[in-house]
Amino acid sequence: MTMLQSARRAAGSAATITLSGSRLLSMGSVAGHSPMSMCAPAVPTHCIARARLAATAAPVPGSSFDMEPAVSAKEKKTEHEKETASYWGVSPTRVVKDDGTKWKWSCFRPWDAYEADVSIDLMKHHEPVTLGDKMARWTVKAMRWPTDIFFQRRYGCRAMMLETVAAVPGMVAGAVLHLRSLRRFEQSGGWIRALLEEAENERMHLMTFMEVSQPRWHERALVVAVQGVFLHAYLAAYLLSPATAHRMVGYLEEEAVHSYTEFLRDIDAGKIEDVPAPAIAIDYWRLPAGATLRDVVKVVRADEAHHRDVNHYASDIHHQGHALREIAAPIGYH
Ligand SMILES: [Fe+2]
Ligand SMILES: [Fe+2]
């Protein structure tokens, strides 16, 4: 952990970070190869790195990419051009593992990856008590109805589309608390960061499901329309009653847990092919190299259960007459 933190601190001061140590090397960062195979003399590590850069899905072991060079001349030229453009002294941070291979993802770094807590209770449910709770529950149930009709059992597509909505509340609530903190000259109790972490985590769910399901034009149009409506509706709800808004997200996450459980059932029944996990998912959740879609759905479902708990907890804090800033936020609680 100390090493991760020092690597993160280094990100602010150096353009290139070299990661060392078995923990970072064991992040499943080479798709299709276990950490041990990275050390095996039979396959040069630079060749494996090239394989990782070339694939978006975990490659099948034994495929032919192993003999390509680590970085092509064209890629080197492009990198050089980007460096030259850095007139202002802002160089892109490059993360290099201690075997010399490049960290592939710029949308997240090794210190953002984590192992999901899949032991979380999936059956927890908050029984609505107040009128606000009942309205929140009713709203989520009402939103589920058209979703069920539109997507039916196309869970890959359904997950991808719902993640475009699920990533909105954390960002809205985080922004509202951020601005309030500035206006009132007061601490946030860590809630700004916790809510933005949730939004980022939801967006990573979307980045993952994009790899297994491509949206069609009318689905993209639907996302634009829904985002426009939902963003403003949730902002209004959060300003009027943060307790109800967090409760609604809690119920939304309960539904997400249910949907991902159905997704798993269809994979187990053979109705959905259990394809290799996207490489981005293997790195983000530190999954084993041979992980499949089923493993991905399990860790995403665990994330949703954590979001459920955080949002019901935030609503409870409000209901008990406290402001969120008075109670330390569950930062890093995925
Ligand atoms: Fe999600
Ligand atoms: Fe969620």
- Tell me the residue type at 192: I
Q: Report how far residue 330's alpha carbon sits from residue 314's, in angstroms, rounded to the nearest whole number.
A: 10
Ligand 1 centroid distance, CA of 146 (Å): 19
Q: What is the mean pLDDT of residues 224-240?
A: 96
Question: End-to-end alpha-carbon separation of the chain, Å?
Answer: 16
Judge contact between 95 and 8, C-beta under 8 A: no
Alpha carbons 38 and 51: distance in angstroms, whole number? 12
- State the CB neighbour count (10 A cutoff) for residue 250: 26
Ligand whose nearest atom lies closest to the CA of 159: 1
**Which residue would you say has higher pLDDT here, 49 or 312?**
312
Q: How confident is the model at residue 94 (pLDDT cuts 50, 70, 90)?
A: confident
Confidence of residue 332 (pLDDT cuts 50, 70, 90): confident
Binned at pLDDT 50, 70 and 90, residue 41 comes out as: very low
- Ligand at minimal distance from the CA of 198 is 2
**Mean pLDDT for the chain overall:** 79
Q: Minimal CA–CA distance to 256: which of 171, 153, 158?
A: 158
The answer to whether the pTM exceeds 0.85 is no
Q: How confident is the model at residue 81 (pLDDT cuts 50, 70, 90)?
A: low
324 CA distance to ligand 1 middle (Å): 23
pLDDT at site 42: 34
> Once rounded to an integer, what is the mean pLDDT over residues 115-120?
93
d(CA 320, CA 242): 13
Q: Which residue has the higher pLDDT, 232 or 107?
A: 232
**Residue holding tokens 């009318």?**
218
**Distance from Cα 171 to the centre of ligand 1, integer Å:** 13
- Ligand 1 is an ion; its neighbours by CB within 5 Å are 163, 166, 202, 205
Tell me the CATH architecture of domain 131-326: Up-down Bundle (1.20)
In tens, the pLDDT along 250-299 reads 999 999 999 999 999 999 999 999 999 999 999 999 999 999 999 999 99
Dist. CA 104 → ligand 1 center (Å) = 23
Residue 53 has pLDDT above 80, yes or no: no
Whether the pLDDT of residue 44 is over 90: the answer is no
Question: Residue 83 has what pLDDT?
Answer: 59
Closest listed ligand to the CA of 203: 1
Query: What's the gap in Å between 165 CA and the centre of ligand 2?
Result: 10
Kindly state the percentage of the chain with pLDDT values over 70: 74
- Residue spans per domain, the chain: 2-56, 131-326
Closest ligand to the CA of 253? 2
Judged against a pLDDT cut of 70, whether residue 247 lies above it is answered with yes
User: What pLDDT, on the 0 to 100 scale, is given for residue 333?
Assistant: 79
